[in-house]
Structure 1
Amino acid sequence: MANATSAGAGAEAADHPIVDLLVVGGGVNGAGIARDAVGRGMSVVLCEQGDLAGATSSASTKLIHGGLRYLEYYEFRLVREALQEREVLLRAAPHIIWPLRFVLPHDSSMRPAWMVRIGLFLYDHLGKRKLLPASHGVDLTTAPAGRPLAGGFTKAFEYSDCWVEDSRLVVLNAMDARERGAEILTRTRCDRAVRRGGLWEATLVDSDSDSGAVRAVRARALVNAAGPWVRDVITRRTGVKVDKSVRLVKGSHIVVPKIYEGDHAYIFQNDDRRIVFAIPYERDFTLIGTTDLDYSGDPAAVAISPEEITYICRAVSRYFKAPVRESDVVWTYSGVRPLFDDASGNASAVTRDYVLEMDEPAGEAPMLSIFGGKITTFRRLAEEAVDKLGGALGKSGGNWTADFPLPGGNIPEADFARFLDQFKRGRPWLPDATALRLARAYGTRVEGLLGGAQGLADLGRDFGGGVYEAELDYAAREEFALSGDDFLWRRSKLGLHLDAAARQAIGGWFEDRRRDRSPDRRQATSDVQAGRRSMGGLR
């Protein structure tokens, strides 16, 4: 493939400036690498064929966690790293990440109590835990957490992890990368990339328009962070031969109306030795999942099966007094995890650790491909990736992301409750529910959204449900949102709360905006990047 296309690519790219990194993939790993690299002084272009977090990174269980069950597979390094990252990320983005307590009812037929206690002891002490409380036992016969559970469960264990708005985490990394000088191109597919003269010459195609506009990029290194498409980029887009492989594992979740009171989550042991979570979700709902199934189809077409819905409902109904039925399900989502293929027989046992594969023939531009990983360790993965790339390119620059908040996360002492109280007192005209939602979503950046507004009438068109035109404009201007789905399902989960008319109106607003601006969309994006590039990186 490389030989067949090299002449065309060279002609297209010859007059274009050279950047240090071309990152292919706008999920959490790609956005994290772009942010880290540009902060170390590298020039970066990131292209994403769809929307940011449009695939795996918006289909997680939305947890920043060590992975209690990974201890059974002796993945101590992975668990330790993930546990350490919980509080690093909590400080970096306390508006979209917050502590969550998990209740694990004990079923002696699954795992003996001593085994669970040992696991939780390790979980408490493997990481540097300062903000999160330790685990302890719970008497379900008296504790509120026992009330919704079926009879027979008298003992439980409680421990801490964190919740994350996963798709917003990706967007905030991309925003920070852009503000430090990176160029972020959504709806832009890497059609091909070839090596020539010590560089990568890539052809990028506008994947969201009929014109199929083409752009050429020359880069000193290519980062393959394409997630479920990582193998496609290797074999079809670049023609490079890499020994390591990816194993695609499908995970699905269901959302039902809230089935218990309280702000804690449950973790249930299933009779196949897997675990299932039940988590408070979007105020009015409960999120339940996940499954682990090998997947061989198109990652873009992944969807939950009736069998998966039945499996999840049956698993949690063992524990709740009121069974969860298929008819209760109001929404589902599925994702494809691009796990490193370690030849495990069971999809649930496949490692969640990551592998970074550097292809660096003598005298040629390097390509770094990412296999595996989990959302909790994206920042550490990015550090390691940029260390490797910096070494290959002769670029220096130390690790920095652990000490700098993400956009909106510069909340004093990471105290969201105090920040919210001050925000509400400063904007008394905002309804409490709207104030909480906006503060959670945007953190300190909420002032940029509201501007000089003195009342709801100053926020523009009212779409219902506390959504005003000012928020849509902010999402489009600052957060790369180009469609109603981008805003309703990835920048937020308002799609669960708004009626069909409101969703359609919001989709129409984005369509009107794109029609007005589409001829100049790519140039306008470049102009914004050029204006912000003067901020530079951390050197």
Structure 2
Amino acid sequence: MQCDVDLLIVGGGINGAGIARDAAGRGLSVALVEQDDLANHTSSASTKLIHGGLRYLEYGEVRLVRKALIEREVLWSMAPHIIWPLRFVLPQTNSPRPAWMVRLGLLLYDNLGGRKRLPGTETIRLGDDPRGKGLKPSRGDRAYVYSDCWVDDSRLVVLNARDAADRGAQVMTRTRLIEASRDHSSWTARIEDADGVRVITSRALVNAGGPWVSDVLARTTGGDQLSPRRGVRLVKGSHIVVPRLYDGDHAFMLQNPDRRIVFAIPYEGEFTLVGTTDEAWDEPPGRAKISNDEIDYLLKTINRYFQRHTSCEEVAWTYAGIRPLFDDQAANASAVTRDYVLDLDTGRASVPGAPMLSVFGGKITTYRLLAEQALAALAPFFPGARPAWTRGVALPGGDIPEGDFDAYLRSLVLRYPHLDAGLLRRMTRSHGTRAPLLLGETEYVSDLGQDFGGGVYAREVDYLSDHEWAQSGEDILFRRTKCGLHAPKGAAASIDAYLSDRCGARSGPAWSATGVEFEEG
């Protein structure tokens, strides 16, 4: 049977987008369907770190930590506009762990993953070091300072999808899988978008549904009446954003008496991002919202450490997402593995069928490796596919000379002398070397068109709509950019109206219909 595509991928989070990019680059024909917007759910609700996961060492996850640590610098080199180094201060104040244990863990963390460019751990006295300013004074104020990286998580997803499309993939957002059935050589799927229901056939199916992985399995039939051999455990993680707690561009890892840790990270200049929580999610996957207990827990954590007291009324924004973790039967949510499992199903030996690969678990740092291993698992079915290629190949906008973001930004400031340097920096952080494609012959800010506030102008809205699948104010303010915290009230509605006038009735679902809850304080 002649199929429409080689690979149909269900799910437009980081794993689905990463697999689509890898597959398209190997010469396979690819279609990706996402029921909402790209990164609409889990992949935009992370703590926004590319990291090994220091705390996972405590649970014996040495293999996971090692491969994640190796990936840190690989991903940084691929996208230096949206990924950059961050130093983390780990105070021993109030620590439930002895200093020797923490230092031993950091020694392993520094040397486990072949670190080359990131600086190693140092020991400081908070009372004598500028990085201790803002913390409450305490006796024995020792702290350790180590390295990881920050990432604009939702842009990482979009740029993988953009690269996949540039290499020939079809990326279809607001498109839902209704059902899929297979025979011995192909899958036949019914999908639905705003224009109605249609059929697409493929040689293989990839289930990258994230929290919906079990739901996608339930929509598939054929061969052995597909029964999942793996389980997914849903865990809600919530974050708050508060007025800036301290000066400096470093982050903090804060240890709580219950042995859980919370990060405090510089965010959007004026704010500090605080998270995450870990709560079991027993409901069907869908819309997640931070609870009052979670807000209280995160506020108690930062008020335990910082001089500046923060109240509930000062919380500027919250978001929550559901993490689909591989169910390893751990007793508590914090201890559940963040590693992934790939499950390849080809039917019974007596009734073989077209392959289906399901993704269980995973973390944003290891998405590229996951995609590479997914294609390796599918390789026997596509003998003509090209070999692995993504390691070290820049994402769109990431081909900055020598990876020097600041030098590249200086060149743009010279090229666009009449534009505000802060606006140029933000646009370059979002788009890297593709910023000039967006800006074109712009000379003055008035050339950028309608000002929606918060640093968002019509020229960028047009670009994001035309090239990055943005269909609503929420898509643009909270996923394609992080300007939502700076934009005035009503900005999203203004962008929705603008897009409606420009593109017809293309605006996306209401904010309340999304899987990540965005709330203004």
TM-score (norm 2): 0.94
Name structure 1 gaps, 5 residues minimum: 1-13, 519-539
Counterpart position of 1:149? 135
Q: How does 1:411-422 map to 2 (within 5 A)?
A: 411-422=400-411
Equivalent residue letter for 2:116:
K
1:456 to 445, 449, 461: 445
Counterpart position of 1:389? 378
Equivalent residue letter for 1:198:
S
Alpha-carbon distance between aligned partners in 2 of 1:187 and 1:226, rounded to the nearest angstrom = 14
Deviation string for 1:402-424 (max 9, x for gaps)?
12100000001111011111111
Q: Does 1:409 align with 2:398?
A: yes
Alpha-carbon distance between aligned partners in 2 of 1:319 and 1:87, rounded to the nearest angstrom = 31
Equivalent residue letter for 1:25:
G
Equivalent residue letter for 1:411:
I
- Is the Cα–Cα contact under 8 Å of residues 94 and 257 in structure 2 kept in the other structure? no
Counterpart position of 1:221? 204
Q: CA deviation at 1:190?
A: 0.7
Equivalent residue letter for 2:106:
L
Q: CA deviation at 1:466?
A: 2.8
Deviation string for 1:482-518 (max 9, x for gaps)?
1111101110121110111333211211222332679
2:414 to 392, 402, 425: 425
Deviation string for 1:91-126 (max 9, x for gaps)?
100000000000000036511111111111111100
Q: CA deviation at 1:214?
A: 1.2
Helix, strand or coil at the partner of 2:230: coil
Equivalent residue letter for 1:308:
E
Equivalent residue letter for 1:383:
E
Alpha-carbon distance between aligned partners in 1 of 2:323 and 2:10, rounded to the nearest angstrom = 17
Q: Does 1:200 align with 2:187?
A: yes
Alpha-carbon distance between aligned partners in 1 of 2:339 and 2:454, rounded to the nearest angstrom = 40
Q: How does 1:72-87 map to 2 (within 5 A)?
A: 72-87=58-73
Deviation string for 1:265-324 (max 9, x for gaps)?
000001111100000001111100000011022332210000110011112211111222
1:329 to 308, 312, 315: 315
Deviation string for 1:120-148 (max 9, x for gaps)?
11111001211110011011011112121
Alpha-carbon distance between aligned partners in 1 of 2:186 and 2:454, rounded to the nearest angstrom = 50
**RMSD, aligned CA:** 1.5
Q: Does 1:275 align with 2:266?
A: no
Q: Does 1:181 align with 2:164?
A: no
- Is the Cα–Cα contact under 8 Å of residues 191 and 237 in structure 1 kept in the other structure? no
Equivalent residue letter for 1:101:
R
Helix, strand or coil at the partner of 1:298: coil
Alpha-carbon distance between aligned partners in 1 of 2:445 and 2:76, rounded to the nearest angstrom = 31
Q: CA deviation at 1:433?
A: 1.0
Q: Which consecutive segments of 4 or more residues in structure 1 shift more than 4 A?
A: none
Equivalent residue letter for 2:373:
E
Q: How does 1:236-275 map to 2 (within 5 A)?
A: 236-238=219-221, 240-275=226-261
Equivalent residue letter for 1:164:
V
Equivalent residue letter for 2:72:
R
Equivalent residue letter for 2:403:
A
Counterpart position of 1:487? 476
Alpha-carbon distance between aligned partners in 2 of 1:226 and 1:413, rounded to the nearest angstrom = 36
- Is the Cα–Cα contact under 8 Å of residues 220 and 393 in structure 1 kept in the other structure? no
Q: Does 1:473 align with 2:462?
A: yes
Q: How does 1:4-43 map to 2 (within 5 A)?
A: 17-43=3-29
Deviation string for 1:212-234 (max 9, x for gaps)?
x1121111110000000000111
Q: Does 1:230 align with 2:187?
A: no
Alpha-carbon distance between aligned partners in 2 of 1:128 and 1:427, rounded to the nearest angstrom = 40
Name structure 2 gaps, 5 residues minimum: 508-521
Helix, strand or coil at the partner of 1:360: strand
Counterpart position of 1:117? 103
Alpha-carbon distance between aligned partners in 2 of 1:304 and 1:508, rounded to the nearest angstrom = 29
Counterpart position of 2:328? 342
Deviation string for 1:336-376 (max 9, x for gaps)?
00000000001100000000000112431010000000000
- Is the Cα–Cα contact under 8 Å of residues 453 and 486 in structure 2 kept in the other structure? no
Helix, strand or coil at the partner of 2:227: coil
- Label 1:313 to 1:90 Cα distance change in 2 as closer, same or farther (>3 A): same
Alpha-carbon distance between aligned partners in 1 of 2:260 and 2:499, rounded to the nearest angstrom = 42
Q: Which has the higher helix share?
A: 1
- Is the Cα–Cα contact under 8 Å of residues 190 and 237 in structure 1 kept in the other structure? no
Alpha-carbon distance between aligned partners in 1 of 2:384 and 2:282, rounded to the nearest angstrom = 39
- Is the Cα–Cα contact under 8 Å of residues 482 and 514 in structure 1 kept in the other structure? no
Alpha-carbon distance between aligned partners in 2 of 1:200 and 1:489, rounded to the nearest angstrom = 35
Q: Does 1:436 align with 2:425?
A: yes
Equivalent residue letter for 2:200:
V
Q: Which moved more, 1:302-311 or 1:314-323?
A: 314-323
Give the length in aligned residue pairs.
500
Alpha-carbon distance between aligned partners in 2 of 1:112 and 1:310, rounded to the nearest angstrom = 27
Q: Does 1:58 align with 2:47?
A: no
Alpha-carbon distance between aligned partners in 2 of 1:46 and 1:40, rounded to the nearest angstrom = 16
Counterpart position of 2:515? none
2:342 to 356, 361, 365: 356
Equivalent residue letter for 2:308:
A
Counterpart position of 2:299? 313
Deviation string for 1:431-487 (max 9, x for gaps)?
011011001000000011011222222222222333221100000011110111110
TM-score (norm 1): 0.90
- Label 1:514 to 1:20 Cα distance change in 2 as closer, same or farther (>3 A): same
Deviation string for 1:237-259 (max 9, x for gaps)?
44521121000000000001111
Q: CA deviation at 1:17?
A: 4.2
2:157 to 167, 170, 188: 170
Alpha-carbon distance between aligned partners in 1 of 2:99 and 2:387, rounded to the nearest angstrom = 44
